[in-house]
Each structure stands twice: as structure tokens, then as C-alpha cells.
Amino acid sequence: MTIEKAGEMLRKGEITSVELTSAYLKNITEKNKELNSFLEVFSDSLEQAKRADGRIKNGEAGGLTGIPIAIKDNILIQGRTASAASKILENYVASYDAYVIKKLKDAGAVIIGRTNMDEFAMGSSTQTSAYGVTRNPYDKNRVPGGSSGGSAVAVASDMALVALGTETCGSVRQPASFCGLVGLKPTYGRVSRNGIIAMGNSLDQVSPFGKTVKDVETVFNVIQGKDEMDATSIVPHLEEEGAGGGNVIGIPWHLFDSGVDKEVMDNFKESVEKLKNAGYKIVDIDLPYSKYSLATYYIIMPAEVSTNLSRFDGVRYGLRKEGENVSDVYKKTRSAGFGAETKRRIILGTFILSHGYYDAYYNKAWRVRNAIKEEFQNIFKKVDFIMTPTTPTPAFKIGEKLDDPVAMYLCDIFSAPANLTGIPAIALPSGFTSGGLPLSVQFMAKHFGENDLFLIGKKFEETR
């Protein structure tokens, strides 16, 4: 089912949102126990659906009215728990709606539950959640990717029609790739971060999952927009926005040297051929600084993480462990509340920002980040798109890479540039491995080039 199809049936009266929502709730009852995609299913889902049906009857329906959507657990919904899959926020209830939630409610979407994720969005496999791993519906012994793994699985196994995740570095594109879905990382600033539990402020962006490019486009159009409550929220400069119809694709082959799985590579080459046949012009490009993307990301992100997570101290909200004095309360609360990966990043980030190292690491990383940005701006004078595999491997086994953080970090190798530079990127299903695991390619475009990505995405869908 797609939004397009469901929307048509809803408007024609062939189905009600109550019926549609009930079907998804039934799937949740049947599948969620094993897959662990939802941390909570909202008991008022059918009431929301009833209200949506009222709007549809009155002719007040928009594209998302009556559509069941799942929400990652780091996006605030007023009156609901938002735990970011951490123990430290186990009992935290949001006191307001995130901007994107307000938009969804205004549109009449049915918010059916909150989904599992890596703790505070740190991870690529949804295994660092304090609430258990989420399983990949294509092979239950494998991870769904992360950090928005719960949202990806919800859509991939028909427990929601579409879902929201967040990206700091690939957390929607990578699980979209592992679960056979479309995932869009919008231009930094196009979707408000107000009401998102921050990981890396200069990188975070709410990002939708769907089964088709059109569905992702529909959700994006509802949630994007200027928000006074987020100082980094921007109105797109229309003159810079893609004119549409560009057909030059650049491929940075040199970035694939290290460790791309053979089946991923073969599939990527096949996808390139299909695009050639569809009339696209393929050129080789050089992005010499981009090989430092991952190193840069793993300095800037932990620095921002250590700052953002200092607010979880047992004083204002969240878990609290009593101690002998203030510092003892902090220590006991944070030791008990955070998981190992979160602690690792807080420690790394605190070191990076400490006296004597700030210049050597943090400032240097920002200079490299700017060099990467410039490199991309220059390349986009010559090409309309940059194409890479979305991930270097298909979904890996549960437990794999858990003891080797660097191997886990390497999952982000093709994701990092778009988050560091702020450009939009889309992950698209491109086939399956011989063992039946989904494969994916990614396209990046210049700032505000979402429409170009939707265009090429639809073209690519036609070649499948």
C-alpha cells in the first residue's frame, strides 16, 4: 500500500481511515513481538482515525489525512513518553509537540506509535537501544540498520504506511537500504529541529521513510518549512533550487576502493547502466577531501553529543539517582542512565573539546568540513547528482560489529558527506543480493535540490 493509493481509496470512500489503521494495528499485534519495531503503540490511534474520517467526509482532507505514520522515539509528542531509547529518559513525558508533529497533526495523519532506535540515535544497527534489538524483516537474524531501525521495520513489514526517523549521519538512508525502502535526508534547515532530542545540532535533520519516492515526497512536503523556533530553519533560496531535468550524474569511484561488498558493487554498476539507458550522462568525479568525511564526522559529532547530553543530569528531568552531593548525583545518575556507546561518545567528545585539544581536533575538523563543503559546491557546477551505493554492505548479522566500534562506524562512509555539507540525499531500493537481502543506491544533489532527487528517484523506480 502507498499513500497515493490509500489516499485515493479514502477520498472515494472505498475504505475508511479506521479500517486502514485497524489493518496496520493488526499487523503490529502479529509481528511486533518478534521484530520489536514499536516501543509503544498509541491507544488513541483509532480515535485519531475517526477524526480523520470526519475530515475526509467534509472534504477537508490533505495528502496525509487518515494515513498511519510511525514516529522515532526522539521526536516529541505532547503528553507521550519520548525516551530516545535510553534508560535515562524512560519516564520522560514530552510537554510539547515537535514542529513536525504539529504539522502531521494539522494534516490529519494518524500517529500510531513510537519506534525503537539506537540510544540517542548513536549507532547503525538499532542494537544500542535500552529496550532490545529490532530485527530485520528480510532476515530476522540480521539488523535493520540504524539508528532509525524501528521506523524502517515498521514500514517494511506493514506496521505503518510511512514513518519519520532522524539523520545525523545516515540514520534513515542506511536502515532504508537494509530494509528495501526509500529514505530522504533533506537539506539541513529545511525541516525544523524544534522538539527533536538533539544529537549533533549542526547535522541533525528529521527524515522520512516510505515505500515509494512519491510517498516520501508527500511526507516531506508536509513536514518541511520555516519555523521561528529553530534558528537554523531556513526558507529555500528558490534561485538555488534545482531547476529539474538535470541529467549529469557524477560518480566518485575512488571512494569505493576500501571494502565495498562484491554484490553491492555489482548491483551499483548495474544501476549505473540502467540510468545510462534511461538517458543520463555518467561522468567520473574526484572528491579528494571526502575520504576524510568519516574522520571529520567522528570528531564533530561526539563534541556536539557531549554538549547536548550534559542536560541529562538527574536534576531537571529524567532518571535520578540520589547521592551525597551534586557531583555524586550526576555521576550515579549518568552511570546508571546511559548505555556503553553513549558513554563512549560523551567521553570522546569531552576529550575533543578539552583545553589543549580543542584546536588540534575540533577546530581542525571544522576546517576539513569546510573544505569538503567547498569541494561539493564546486562539483555541483559540473554535475547535477552524485551517486554512490548507500551502504558498503547489505544488512549484517545481529551481534556482528558490536565489539568493534570502528567497523560499525564504517557503515557511515557514504552517508557522512551529505550530513557534513548539509546537502539533500535520497536512498533508493536497487535490487536484492543472491540471499534475498535488499540493496540500495544513493543520490545526492545540491542544497535545496529535493525536487531533483524526487525526479531522478521516480525515473530510477521506473527502471526496476
Residues serving a catalytic function are: 72, 147, 171
Closest CA to 206 of 101, 284, 310: 101
* Using rule CB under 6 A, residue 412 touches ligand GLN: yes
C-alpha–C-alpha distance, residues 312 and 143, integer Å: 28
* Using rule CB under 6 A, residue 147 touches ligand GLN: yes
Which of the ranges 13-21, 165-173, 210-218, 388-396 carries the binding residues for ligand GLN, by CB under 6 A?
165-173
* Using rule CB under 6 A, residue 309 touches ligand GLN: no
> Nearest distance from residue 109's CB to ligand GLN, in Å?
23
> Nearest distance from residue 341's CB to ligand GLN, in Å?
8
> Nearest distance from residue 216's CB to ligand GLN, in Å?
17
Q: Which listed residue (127, 134, 168, 433) binds ligand GLN by CB under 6 A?
A: 168
Closest CA to 86 of 303, 316, 298, 319: 319
Q: Which listed residue (122, 143, 300, 445) binds ligand GLN by CB under 6 A?
A: 122
Q: Which residues contact 371 (CB under 8 A, 6 or more apart)?
A: 289
* Using rule CB under 6 A, residue 163 touches ligand GLN: no
> Nearest distance from residue 330's CB to ligand GLN, in Å?
24
39: part of which helix (H) or strand (E)? strand 38-41
* Using rule CB under 6 A, residue 199 touches ligand GLN: yes
* Using rule CB under 6 A, residue 121 touches ligand GLN: yes
Question: Letter for the amino acid at 110?
Answer: V
C-alpha–C-alpha distance, residues 17 and 47, integer Å: 10
In this structure, what C-alpha cell is assigned to residue 237? Answer: 533560496
* Using rule CB under 6 A, residue 308 touches ligand GLN: no
309 HSE (CA, 13 A, CB side)? 32
> Nearest distance from residue 383's CB to ligand GLN, in Å?
25
396 HSE (CA, 13 A, CB side)? 18
Is there a contact between 220 and 183 (Cβ–Cβ < 8 Å)? no
Which of the ranges 5-13, 136-144, 166-174, 276-284 carries the binding residues for ligand GLN, by CB under 6 A?
166-174
* Using rule CB under 6 A, residue 170 touches ligand GLN: yes
Q: How many residues does the chain have?
A: 464
* Using rule CB under 6 A, residue 169 touches ligand GLN: yes
C-alpha–C-alpha distance, residues 457 and 455, integer Å: 5
Is there a contact between 65 and 111 (Cβ–Cβ < 8 Å)? no
> Nearest distance from residue 168's CB to ligand GLN, in Å?
4
C-alpha–C-alpha distance, residues 131 and 87, integer Å: 8
> Nearest distance from residue 340's CB to ligand GLN, in Å?
13
Q: Which listed residue (17, 21, 45, 124) binds ligand GLN by CB under 6 A?
A: 124
Which of the ranges 30-38, 117-125, 190-198, 396-404 carries the binding residues for ligand GLN, by CB under 6 A?
117-125
Q: Which is nearer to ligand GLN, 171 or 421 (CB)?
A: 171
C-alpha–C-alpha distance, residues 431 and 265, integer Å: 12
Hey, is 302 helix, strand or coil? helix
* Using rule CB under 6 A, residue 167 touches ligand GLN: yes
Is there a contact between 270 and 431 (Cβ–Cβ < 8 Å)? yes
* Using rule CB under 6 A, residue 205 touches ligand GLN: no
Q: Which listed residue (21, 86, 151, 171) binds ligand GLN by CB under 6 A?
A: 171
With vertex at residue 246, the alpha carbon angle to CA 243 and CA 251, rounded to the nearest 5 degrees, is 130
116 HSE (CA, 13 A, CB side)? 27
* Using rule CB under 6 A, residue 175 touches ligand GLN: no
Nearest residue (beta carbon) to ligand GLN? 171
Give the binding site for ligand GLN (CB under 6 A): 121-124, 147, 167-171, 199, 301, 412
